[in-house]
Amino acid sequence: MSEISKRFKNVMSRIGQAADQAGRSKEDISLMAVSKKQSVESIMELFELGQRAFGESYLQEATQKQHQLQLCEGLTWHFIGPIQSNKTRLIAEQFDWVHSVDRLKIAQRLSEQRQSNLGDLQICLQVNISAEPTKSGVSPDEIKQLALQVSKLPHLRLRGLMAIPKRETDFEKQRVPYRMLRKLKEELSQDLSLDLDMLSMGVSDDYEAAIAEGATIVRVGTELFGPRG
């Protein structure tokens, strides 16, 4: 068995176990393979093993890979990096999902630039859940207004929230920001009557804690591919 297929099986089985422990069905949790700084060959290998969702943070790098992988039918591309406004057009044209929307201007541009024949662009709003001054993400105080505005934009479908909390090694500490994000999503769904079904949370180091708190998509890079090149 190749290194990558061992890694893939291991991640899938850990997701299954974390789901069991949380009393959740593993079908309710999907895996995004974070392929930034990883090779097209490794992506191809995971694709052949059945992986479909891939996450990229750098537009130029992603564009090249997308070109090389255009024959991989059913592959979905998720943009997870910081977004500059001059990059929105390509993101709107080349991705299925964007997890890192944190201001209205970016959402408006994605909405205007998404071609209707591509169907709605799926959106998660990135929340600065650990309130770190340098991190991107909308603050929890401002999320409600942003969610309301984004939910009204054509060609976008607001699906939920995303966060990249401060790294912690202790399992219980890892759960805290993810619990906050889940509660925030519940509040938004109720207060604004929005149908939000996604919690994009959990990376290699903490996806089990994220699953315990309700993650519906975990974003795993290093543990699937090995260290980034």
Ligand X SMILES: *Cc1c(COP(=O)(O)O)cnc(C)c1O
Interaction site with ligand X (CB under 6 A)? 34, 36, 57, 80, 164, 203-205, 219-223
Q: What 8-state DSSP symbol labels residue 167?
A: P
The kind and range of the H/E element at 172 are: helix 171-192
Give the residue with the Cβ less far from ligand X, 111 or 200: 200
Nearer Cβ to ligand X, position 49 or 148?
A: 49
Checking 182-187 for CB contacts under 8 A at 24+ apart, the result is 182/213, 182/214, 184/127, 184/129, 184/140, 184/143, 185/160, 185/161, 187/144
Q: Min. distance of Cβ 15 from ligand X in angstroms? A: 13
Let me know if 23 is exposed, middle or buried by CB neighbors in 10 A (0-12, 13-18, 19+): exposed
Torsion, Cα 30 34 40 42, to 10 degrees, reads: -70
Nearer residue to ligand X within complex by CB, 47 or 58: 58
Question: Smallest gap, in angstroms, from Cβ of residue 61 to ligand X?
Answer: 12
- Asked if 8 and 224 count as a contact pair (C-beta separation under 8 A), the reply is yes
Q: What is the closest distance, in whole angstroms, from the C-beta atom of residue 221 to ligand X in the complex?
A: 3
Residue 56 or 140: which CB sits closer to ligand X?
56
Largest CA distance in the chain: 50
Rounded to a whole number of angstroms, the minimum distance from the CB of residue 71 to ligand X is 26
User: Residue 58 or residue 155: which is nearer to ligand X going by CB?
Assistant: 58
Least separation in angstroms between residue 166's CB and ligand X is 13
Element (H, E) at 53: strand 53-56
Q: Smallest distance, Å, CB 43 to ligand X?
A: 14
Residues forming beta bridges with residue 162, ordered by sequence position: 126, 200
Contact 126, 163 (CB under 8 A): yes
Closer of 94 and 204 to ligand X (Cβ)? 204
Residue 161: helix, strand or coil by DSSP?
strand
The nearer residue to ligand X, 26 or 36, going by C-beta atoms, is: 36
Measured from each CB, the residue nearest to ligand X is 221
Least separation, in Å, of the C-beta of 88 and ligand X? 18
